[in-house]
Amino acid sequence: MKPMIINASLWLTVLLISSTAFSHEGSFEVPSTSAETGSVYIANRTNDEIVFYLESANTIRTKHRLSPQSGMTFSGAAADAWFNIHVYTDNTPVIYGLTAGKRYYLKRNPAGIIDVYIIPES
């Protein structure tokens, strides 16, 4: 009987984690329109891998990596209207607010800090 309780606890833990974590879909092409609600598209326009964290009102803070010159759509809960992105440059975090459904890119500014820029609607 005890193994069933452990299995049930493990199953519940997996269920809770998967329902509150971000998912992402690989894409090397920038979507032609805004990303869908509850998600945000982020592109890396640097020559380095970028490590960052995303969080929102309905999802837990999750670590992500973007390869150089690549982009992905990151999805949270369908009700997410905003995301916070925590980007680190030389172990110094910078936090930016992102609007769900928009497209963004990461690029170093002249001081070498990774900034977030919105991709204009086409």
Residue 9: which H helix or E strand, with range?
Answer: helix 2-20
Tokens, residue 96: 């930016």
pLDDT reported for residue 110: 93
pTM above 0.75, yes or no: no
* Per-residue pLDDT tens digits of the chain, which is 122 residues long: 333 333 333 232 233 333 344 444 444 455 555 556 799 999 999 999 999 999 999 989 999 999 999 999 999 999 999 999 999 888 888 999 999 999 999 999 999 999 999 999 87
Can you give the residue ranges of every domain in the chain? 2-118
pLDDT reported for residue 93: 86
pLDDT reported for residue 34: 52
pLDDT reported for residue 17: 34
Other C-beta atoms lying within 10 Å of the C-beta of residue 117:
14
CATH assignment of 2-118, among 2.60.40.420, 2.60.120.260, 1.10.287.130, 2.60.40.2890: 2.60.40.2890
Which phi and psi angles does 22 have, rounded to 5°? -75, 150
